[in-house]
Amino acid sequence: MAAGKTHKDRKVSPLTESVAVRACLIGLALLFIGAFLVLPLVAVFTEAFAKGVGAYVDAIKDPIALASVKLTFIAAAIAVPLNLVFGVAASWAITKFEFRGKSLLITLIDLPFSVSPVIAGLIYVLLFGAQGLLGPWLHSMDVQIIFAVPGIVLATMFVTFPFVARELIPLMQEQGTEEEEAARSLGADGWQTFRRVTLPNIKWGLLYGVLLCNARAMGEFGAVSVVSGHIRGLTNTMPLHVEILYNEYNFAASFAVASLLASLAVVTLLAKGGLEWRYGHELAGSRG
């Protein structure tokens, strides 16, 4: 085995580093990952069970906690399918046709990623809030969006807007239009072409996008926090419930609810890793 001195292991291979250097770099990288990524994850579960399993179960069975779980699922159940339909439609229009202004359109679709979540919430308050541009009109119609469920759904839709489209556009761009054109020339109609030719080609990429979209939809905090109004049992999603419990120094309960979200994150990462490993070549940019 090569020793730590440079001239010695240069004889072993000039294309890698000495064992000592390698060990140091790996050690430093693992230390960093451990301190910044693993420890927070471990802390969530440790703190969640700090007062025992009984307290954990109580915190989750609490009616207000359950209401927050329900609201989180409702918001995701509306936002994810809508963004899925949008993602497929946008990718079809963008990748199967050539038109002017295409890169501008892609930039606009990516916009919500470069906007702070707080600003995402703010724009809806300024549009639909009591002092907002449409506030008086909405009030006269007796419709409440801000500090109510519709606002939460809108904010969630905004922050998860690009996920599916972003995954599908590069993938469908790589695949081109030949197969679809062949299907058309063989007499398939548009819908058949999409269902029988395009969809099988993009299904794993689609699932990948939906997975990431859903994780963000259920975990979104900043944007939802601005529009929610924090009414317990009514307009609190799980991340907001975590915040309230934490600010009340009810740490064990806060981490108990947080542990559900952390589990969702772990499941998402596992599923994502599995997709990359198994179907990497069918994902955009040939991941995995």
Partner 1 sequence: MSPSTANSTLAGYDDAPPPPRAWGGSWRQPSVLPGFGITMGFTLFYLGLLVLLPLMALIFKAMEFSWEQIWAAATAPRALAAYRLSFGAAFIAAVINLFFGGLVSWVLVRYQFPFKRIVDGLVDLPFALPTAVAGIALATLYAPNGWIGKLLDPIGIKVAYTPLGVVVALVFIGLPFVVRTVQPVLQDLNKDVEEAAASLGASRWQTFRRVIAPSVMPAALTGFALAFARALGEYGSVIFIAGNLPMKSEIAPLLIIIKLEQYDYAGAATIGSTMLIVSFLLLLPINVLQRWSRLRSAEV
User: Could you say which residues in the range 34-63 bind partner 1, by CB under 8 A?
Assistant: 35-41, 43-44, 47
String of contacts with partner 1 for each residue 62-81, x by CB under 8 A: --------------------
- In angstroms, the CA 11 to CA 1 distance is 11
**Minimum Å distance from CB 280 to partner 1?**
12
* 41, containing H or E segment: helix 39-48
Among 105, 148, 207, 234, binds partner 1 (CB under 8 A): 105
As given in the structure block, the two tokens for residue 236 are: 């609190």
The site map against partner 1 for 130-149 (x = CB under 8 A) is -xxx----------------
Candidates 51-59, 62-70, 136-144, 232-240: pick the segment binding partner 1 (CB under 8 A): 232-240
* Residue span binding partner 1 (CB under 8 A) among the ranges 52-60, 61-69, 136-144, 256-264: 256-264
Q: Enumerate residues 149-188 that contact partner 1 by CB under 8 A.
A: 154, 157-158, 161-163, 166-167, 169-170, 173-174, 177, 180-181, 184-185
C-alpha count within 13 angstroms, C-beta hemisphere, residue 79: 32
- Kindly tell me the burial class for residue 188, based on how many C-beta atoms sit within 10 Å of its own C-beta (0-12, 13-18, 19 or more): middle
Question: Restricting to residues 181-220, which ones interact with partner 1 according to CB under 8 A?
Answer: 181, 184-185, 189-190, 193-194, 212, 215-216, 218-220
Among positions 83-102, residues that touch partner 1 (CB under 8 A) are 85-86, 89-90, 92-94, 96-102
Assigned token pair, 162: 């690009």
Query: Which residues have a Cβ under 8 Å from the Cβ of 93 and sit 6 or more positions away?
Result: none
Tokens representing residue 115 in the block? 């906007």
Burial 5-36 (b: 16+ CB within 10 A, else e): eeeebeeeeeeeebeeeeeeeeeeeeeeeeee
Nearer to partner 1, 52 or 181 (CB): 181
Count of positions (residues) in the chain:
288
d(CA 48, CA 61): 14
| 10 binds partner 1, rule: CB under 8 A | yes
* Minimum gap (Å) between residue 80 Cβ and partner 1: 14
Asked whether the CA dihedral 279, 188, 194, 91 is positive or negative, the reply is positive
Q: At what angle do helices 238-247 and 63-95 cross, to 10 degrees?
A: 140
Q: Is there binding between residue 3 and partner 1 (CB under 8 A)?
A: no
**Binding segment (CB under 8 A) for partner 1, from list 55-63, 137-145, 221-229:** 221-229
